[in-house]
Amino acid sequence: MFWILAISIALVAALLIASPLLRRGEEDVTARPNDAEVYRDQLSEIESDEKSGLIDGESAGQARAEIARRLIAASQDAPRKSSLLRRRQAVMLAVVLCLVVPAGAVALYSHAGLPDEPDFPLRARFESPQPDSNILIRRVELRLEEHPEDGRGWEILAPVYLKRGQVAESVNAWRNAIKYLGADARRYGGLAETLVVSSKGRVDVEARDAFTKILELVPGDPRARFYLALAEAQDGKADAAIAALEALKKASDPAAPWMEVTDAQIERIRAEKEQAAKAPGHPTQDDVAAAADMSDEDRTQMIRTMVESLDARLADDPQNFEGWKRLLRSYVMLQDPAKATEALKRALAAFPADSDNGKALISDAKELGISLEGVTE
């Protein structure tokens, strides 16, 4: 039954492909070769030569007769030969498509395929003693639908989901694993790192909490120390971040696998710190010294003036990413949510929400508690 169906489908497909070729062969019957046009041109040339006196009338008549004979032959015999040749080519190609290709496909499948194997429906795949990985994953998922309290099942699925690119599902699986199996440094580590992947490299509040839990369970854990240092840098505390990373280097073996990435992050944070120092609105040493002797009210007014100056400069220099980050934090510090939201809208006009910088701005805004309503629409 399988072979009859397969061959029938192959033949129908081949006929559908070959039918235009057969029609084209029929259309070619009316085609005319180029020889007839050449002979007609020669007749015109003889007439022109006779009028100009290059040849006499008798020679011209003989030449006309010979060319006329050839013209008649070219007009009658050659078209039939040409169209016949083209039609034969079309038929041969149609035969190849209708017979040779399907026959070759059948021969190849009979050699390399499994024509004698029985059907393998989905239910049989689930019951197979050696199912593939997708079936195994689905088995666990089906069990968790009936027994969501199975923490071990969630723990198995979490890293699998991450490898498959299902980041949100992986985060949920790690949360459930911790919920049902309890606190464990490895589970918190899986959750935290998956959260970092989910937020495009940023260490959000939940990830920080998870890394802090790891340090409570395993004091000095290098992975947790590394990511918490990055969180300090994301908060604008470059000096604290560099100090934490330097401390991690000092406490680690020089051959530790994380040393190279730690050095790279120290260089990056230092470079960003230097760039931020050049950004508009950054207080000078004189500003800091003057603020130390001010009253709280005067100090707040000085800060507000600096923030307004930064805001005005960003209108002229909207591509200053660090400036926008500082402006958002400044308005939150001044407890001015309306201006913070308005600044975020302008920042996202310069750095679209789907860009890396735009995503970083939105992540900062979430952590700062800035309303996103109507901002990313």
Q: Which is more confidently placed, 66 or 360? A: 360
Tell me the H-state helices in 148-221. Answer: 151-163, 167-181, 185-198, 205-217
pLDDT exceeds 80 at position 180: yes
Q: Establish if 47 belongs to a structural domain.
A: yes
Same domain for 319 and 306: yes
Q: Give the confidence band of 277 by pLDDT, cuts at 50, 70, 90.
A: low
Q: Establish if 125 belongs to a structural domain.
A: no
**CATH (domain of 300):** 1.25.40
In this structure, how many other beta carbons lie within 10 angstroms of the beta carbon of residue 151?
18
Q: Give the confidence band of 2 by pLDDT, cuts at 50, 70, 90.
A: low
Same domain for 245 and 195: no
C-alpha to C-alpha distance for 372 and 304, rounded to whole angstroms:
23
Same domain for 28 and 56: yes
pLDDT exceeds 60 at position 204: yes
CB distance 218 to 206 below 8 Å: no
Question: What is the pLDDT at residue 31?
Answer: 42
Q: Give the confidence band of 373 by pLDDT, cuts at 50, 70, 90.
A: confident
Indicate the residue among 253, 276, 299 that finishes a domain: 276
Residue 157 is given by DSSP the state H
Residue 305 is given by DSSP the state H
Question: What is the pLDDT at residue 292?
Answer: 54
Same domain for 147 and 59: no
- Is residue 17 packed enough to be buried (19+ CB in 10 Å), middle (13-18) or exposed (0-12)? middle
pLDDT exceeds 90 at position 12: no
> Mean pLDDT of all residues in the chain?
78
Mean pLDDT of 191-208: 90
Same domain for 229 and 209: no
Q: Establish if 14 belongs to a structural domain.
A: yes
Q: Establish if 124 belongs to a structural domain.
A: no
C-alpha to C-alpha distance for 139 and 127, rounded to whole angstroms:
10
Amino acid at 59: S
C-alpha to C-alpha distance for 136 and 125, rounded to whole angstroms:
10
Mean pLDDT of 250-260: 92
Same domain for 58 and 40: yes
Same domain for 6 and 106: yes
pLDDT exceeds 80 at position 372: yes
Domain that holds residue 164: 132-219
Same domain for 180 and 268: no
What are the tokens at 167? Answer: 């980041």
Q: ∠ at Cα 374 (370, 376), nearest 5°?
A: 85
Same domain for 206 and 307: no
Question: What is the pLDDT at residue 25?
Answer: 47
Q: Establish if 248 belongs to a structural domain.
A: yes
pLDDT exceeds 50 at position 30: no
In this structure, how many other beta carbons lie within 10 angstroms of the beta carbon of residue 344?
24
Q: Establish if 175 belongs to a structural domain.
A: yes
Same domain for 246 and 157: no
Indicate the residue among 175, 198, 219 that finishes a domain: 219
Q: Which is more confidently placed, 203 or 48? A: 203
CB distance 180 to 151 below 8 Å: yes
Q: Give the confidence band of 29 by pLDDT, cuts at 50, 70, 90.
A: very low
Question: What is the pLDDT at residue 42?
Answer: 72
pLDDT exceeds 60 at position 170: yes
C-alpha to C-alpha distance for 162 and 194, rounded to whole angstroms:
7
The total number of structural domains in the chain stands at 4
Same domain for 272 and 236: yes
**CATH (domain of 166):** 1.25.40.10
Q: Give the confidence band of 331 by pLDDT, cuts at 50, 70, 90.
A: confident
Q: Establish if 12 belongs to a structural domain.
A: yes
pLDDT exceeds 80 at position 182: yes
Same domain for 29 and 108: yes
Q: Establish if 234 belongs to a structural domain.
A: yes
Tens of pLDDT, residue by residue over 97-155, are 667 777 777 777 777 766 665 555 545 555 555 556 777 788 888 899 999 999 999 99
